[in-house]
């Protein structure tokens, strides 16, 4: 069974992430979404909420993909990959700016675990300019997030907004 890891912060999950996940799950037997719970990044949403939103988004948007698993993750991805017998890391590529950092990470992960190859999937043209930082900024100002993030995320981000 070919297992792939899809690591990220997912603060929050966006339609760009879901699109990458859908394509990865069509190729690999199992895709494990590893949600960073203790990275150096300060997050808007706590880990439980980020995990729940990915799971709810998958149930709504990818009900046909029974091979997706979502886990909390803290540690070295290369080591976790070893425990899962994973052969791949999935990363989405949007711009040239992503590439330099992603290349460094890919080489380091393979050095730490030579069974683990990184597979880059190009972002869908609809989501190429989309990232979680932009979503957090839009949400803060009450902007319409339709078409950018899954409905569970819209519900979560607008639930404390008095204009809704």
- Point out which residues bind ligand ADP (CB under 6 A): 7-10, 14, 16-17, 20, 91-92, 94, 98, 123, 127, 130-132
**Minimum Å distance from CB 130 to ligand ADP?**
4
Cα(3)–Cα(124) distance, rounded to whole angstroms?
23
Min separation Cβ 163 and ligand ADP, Å: 26
**Catalytic residue list contains 129:** no
Largest CA distance in the chain: 52
DSSP designation for 144:
-
159 is catalytic: no
Residue 58 near residue 69, CB atoms below 8 Å: no
Residue 30 annotated as catalytic: no
Residue 10 or 28: the one with the smaller Cβ distance to ligand ADP is 10
Burial of 64 (0-12, 13-18, 19+ CB in 10 A): exposed
When the beta carbons of 96 and 163 are compared against ligand ADP, the nearer one is: 96
Paired tokens of 128: 């190429």
Catalytic-residue membership of 41: yes
Q: Which residues are catalytic?
A: 17, 41, 94, 132
């Amino acid at each position: 069974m070919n297992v792939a890891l899809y690591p990220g912060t997912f603060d929050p999950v966006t339609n760009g992430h879901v699109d990458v996940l859908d394509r990865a799950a069509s190729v690999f037997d199992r895709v494990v979404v590893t949600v960073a719970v203790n990275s150096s990044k300060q997050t808007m949403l706590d880990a439980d909420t980020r995990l729940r939103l990915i799971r709810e988004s998958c149930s709504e948007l990818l009900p046909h993909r029974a091979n997706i698993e979502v886990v909390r993750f803290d540690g070295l991805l290369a080591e976790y990959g070893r425990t899962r017998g994973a052969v791949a890391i999935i990363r989405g590529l949007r711009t040239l700016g992503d590439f330099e950092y992603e290349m460094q990470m890919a080489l380091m992960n393979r050095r730490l675990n030579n069974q683990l190859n990184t597979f880059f999937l190009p972002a869908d043209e609809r989501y190429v300019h989309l990232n979680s930082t932009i979503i957090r900024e839009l949400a803060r100002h009450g902007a319409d997030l339709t078409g950018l993030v899954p409905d569970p995320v819209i519900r979560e981000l607008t639930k404390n907004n008095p204009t809704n």
